[in-house]
Amino acid sequence: MSEKIDQGSAAGEISRPLAGVKVLELGRLFAAPFATQLLADMGADVIKVERPGHGDEFRHYAPRPVKDAVGAASVESSNYRSVNRNKRSLTVDIGQPDGQRIVRDLARRSDIMVENFKVGALKKYGLDYDSIRALNQDIIYLSVTGFGQNGPYAGRPGADAIFQAMSGLMSLTGEPDRLPQRIGVVVSDLITGLYAANALVMALRAREVLQAGGQHIDMALMDCSVAAVAPAALEYFTSGAVPQRLGPRAFGSAPSEIFRCVDGLLQVQATADPQFHRLCDVVELPELKSDERFATRMNRYQHVEALAAALNARFGSGTMMHWYEKLVAADIMCAPVYSIDQTFEDPQVKHRQMRVDLDRDGVDQVSVIANPIRFGGKPVESYRPPPFLGRDTDEVLASELGLGEREIEQLRQKGVV
């Protein structure tokens, strides 16, 4: 169970606020492992339980083959690496009674247990919330599913694209005259992981400060995806009008869109009147300021096609960097439309050290994205690479459960670990 850790007197210097918190993860794929990775970044000890010989399905799910340090094909995907740093990997076959006993024994010593199996799937193993709570009444038990623990769809499987579609996110994404588009990352999983990590920290505080005890947290990707469309939903609730796709444009404001330059694309946001007037001066179209069609934010939005045509003609006469530097100098919000490789060459991204390169057991190099949280201006500085499958099995069984080498070897021979 968690223990009080001396983090120093200055609150701004706290960089590992969850040190001493023990997390047992039966998480797979993205949302649940992302939530526990956030806790691990903050100092929590996360033990990830995986199937012997196979591991989390995400280890093998990648858009293209991953190469190791010497260029050979790797069995581990970039997807897995993106949500599993700072954890320990323990292989356990929960289908065997001895495997179930190991998980239960670890749960007795844990503050948090996280799982994302189908509703009710862990009950037959004695690893569901009621079974674990009987062993540890203070456990905070998080279940992540597609549709939640109850309701007419509770038993259905789901994936990110399903929830983008059903939540309305997809209906808002893409060009108005084309099919709805899926957002280019697993945004439903990302949002759910963020909500889940917040919920776990809140439950810890409720338990340890308010003496509320343990509890079961029910997180659904569908719920979190619906929550993400709040601005559009509130527009619908208020006006009765169903929001439509606008491509790169912003609802109710203009200009806010992508302009094509000679050699690249530039996103420009100059919707407030002072910004718009400065934009007109920068692109040497002062007549737009006195044009009644563009006199106010709403007027500009109502005549957005005419405004876009005038601005596109001007931006198309120069390079992206030419206009970018001029707009920045005029304090107008704008940005190059980067590809991913260009993002990590940007001076600001480099300065903030958003890419972290890690050596993994002297076998290969793994690059991860830094946690963006900074306490007192200090970034997270402690990163351990995503673990090889079962890397920490012997250590966990020995240090957490007190098993000796002989007992561990017997479990391994039986295929339990």
Q: 387 and 317 in one domain?
A: no
The per-residue pLDDT for range 107-162, each reduced to its tens digit, is 999 999 999 999 999 999 999 999 999 999 999 999 999 999 999 999 999 999 99
Q: 208 and 72 in one domain?
A: yes
Amino acid at site 177 = D
Indicate if 281 belongs to the active site: no
Work out the pLDDT band at 73, boundaries 50, 70, 90: low
Q: 38 and 185 in one domain?
A: yes
pLDDT at 178: 94
Average pLDDT value over all residues in the chain: 92
Q: DSSP secondary-structure letter at 223?
A: H
Rounded to an integer, what distance in angstroms lies between the CA atom of residue 288 and that of residue 311?
10
Residue 94 in this model has a pLDDT that exceeds 70: yes
pLDDT at 333: 96
Q: 317 and 214 in one domain?
A: no
* pTM (2 d.p.): 0.91
Residue 14 in this model has a pLDDT that exceeds 80: no
Domain enclosing residue 273, as ranges: 256-337
Q: 50 and 186 in one domain?
A: yes
Rounded to an integer, what distance in angstroms lies between the CA atom of residue 250 and that of residue 120?
43
Please state the domain count of the chain: 2
The per-residue pLDDT for range 322-345, each reduced to its tens digit, is 999 999 999 999 999 999 999 999
Question: Which of 45, 189, 223, 364 is labelled catalytic?
Answer: 189
Domain assignment of residue 95, yes or no: yes
Q: 389 and 264 in one domain?
A: no
Q: 271 and 130 in one domain?
A: no
What's the CATH code of the domain at 315? 3.30.1540.10
Alpha helices in 185-241 (DSSP H): 187-208, 221-228, 230-239
Q: 97 and 146 in one domain?
A: yes
Task: Report CA-CA distances (Å) from 41 to 1, 21, 45, 205, 359.
Answer: 18, 12, 9, 18, 17
Work out the pLDDT band at 22, boundaries 50, 70, 90: very high
User: Is the CB of residue 328 less than 8 Å from the CB of residue 321?
Assistant: no
Rounded to an integer, what distance in angstroms lies between the CA atom of residue 336 and that of residue 344?
13
